[in-house]
């Protein structure tokens, strides 16, 4: 979302030839992120980029001004080129088909999963990380991974939703799936979550990325030879995406996934007070109250 604001979709917004030429000559501020985020990005977008360049060269030739054709800068990233990206991932182009009955309605799916989804047994090794303001966050690593995995194994940081943590079923299932692929996984439990200690009056929120920044730097220091990735749900996804936007080309992550992100928090909050959603609102409020009691 941030990148689309900073680098408008060239095909949609650069109407004049001069705008296109200026855009092609300007190195993308997200070039470093593009190289780390998606090694296949240049391959996937090359046809789009070269097509754009060809149209410019053709236009120049018609003008007859004798100028040399201008090729795209090597770091060019075309934001919003969804067609080129989707072409490389068949699963993203398939239509969504809900699971019969149980996933036919969002409330049915949510309640069904809450009462029937299994809670896998995972042995964790907890590491408490002290923050500069004397706060504390808990990192739950899978016990034994230091011996079982190579030092350069990819690392996945999981950011649960509001009041969530390593005790949640959706977090553990994702952890086991990544672990089965040879990934090292750590759950980032925010202040007060998953029985982590509350040592300051300061809690965590969607606008606060300081703790995540420290966690990413800590993990990268511990495993300097590994690619570091992150995946977040709900509020965790919101914090993650905000962090990515703040870091821009300085981001140390090799990739990130945002799931069920309430991008517009005001609208999301208003929606919590409508109809059946009041049940979710009360459940989350009770979970927050339990943390604040600490």
Domains and CATH numbers, the chain: 124-293 (3.40.50.1820)
Task: Say if strands 136-142 and 184-189 run parallel, antiparallel, or are unpaired.
Answer: antiparallel
pLDDT number for residue 93: 72
Q: Please name every residue paired with 256 in a beta bridge, in sequence order, or none if there are none.
A: 230
Name the CA dihedral angle for 242, 244, 246, 250, rounded to a multiple of 10 degrees: 170
**What ranges make up the beta strands (E) of 24-154?**
124-130, 136-142
Measuring CA to CA, how many Å separate 243 from each of 24, 220, 232? Answer: 27, 16, 12
**Residue 19: per-residue pLDDT:** 45
Task: Give the pLDDT of residue 246.
Answer: 94
Phi, psi of 231 (to 5 degrees): -140, 130
Residues of the chain with pLDDT under 50: 1-64, 69, 76, 78
């Amino acid at each position: 979302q941030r990148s689309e604001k900073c680098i408008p979709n060239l095909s949609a917004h650069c109407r004049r030839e001069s705008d296109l030429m200026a855009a092609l000559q300007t190195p993308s501020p997200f070039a470093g992120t593009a190289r780390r985020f998606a090694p296949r990005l240049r391959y996937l977008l090359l046809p789009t980029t070269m097509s754009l360049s060809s149209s410019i060269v053709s236009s120049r030739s018609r003008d007859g001004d004798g100028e040399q054709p201008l090729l795209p800068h090597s770091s060019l990233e075309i934001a919003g080129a969804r067609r080129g990206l989707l072409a490389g991932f068949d699963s993203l182009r398939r239509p969504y088909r809900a699971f019969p009955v149980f996933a036919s309605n969002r409330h049915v799916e949510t309640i069904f999963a809450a009462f029937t989804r299994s809670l896998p047994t995972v042995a964790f090794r907890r590491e408490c990380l002290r923050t500069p303001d004397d706060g504390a966050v808990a990192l739950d690593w899978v016990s034994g991974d230091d011996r079982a995995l190579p030092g350069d194994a990819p690392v996945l940081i999981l950011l649960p939703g509001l009041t969530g943590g390593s005790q949640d079923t959706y977090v553990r299932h994702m952890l086991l799936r990544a672990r089965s692929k040879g990934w090292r996984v750590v759950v980032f439990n925010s202040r007060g979550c998953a029985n982590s200690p509350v040592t300051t009056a300061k809690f965590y929120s969607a606008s606060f990325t300081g703790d995540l920044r420290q966690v990413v730097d800590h993990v990268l220091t511990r495993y300097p030879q590994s690619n570091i990735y992150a995946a977040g749900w709900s509020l965790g996804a919101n914090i993650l995406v905000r962090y990515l936007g703040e870091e821009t080309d300085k981001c140390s992550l090799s990739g990130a996934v945002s799931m069920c992100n309430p991008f517009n928090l005001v609208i999301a909050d208003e929606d919590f007070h409508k109809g059946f959603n009041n049940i979710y609102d009360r459940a989350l409020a009770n979970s927050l109250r339990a943390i604040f009691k600490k």
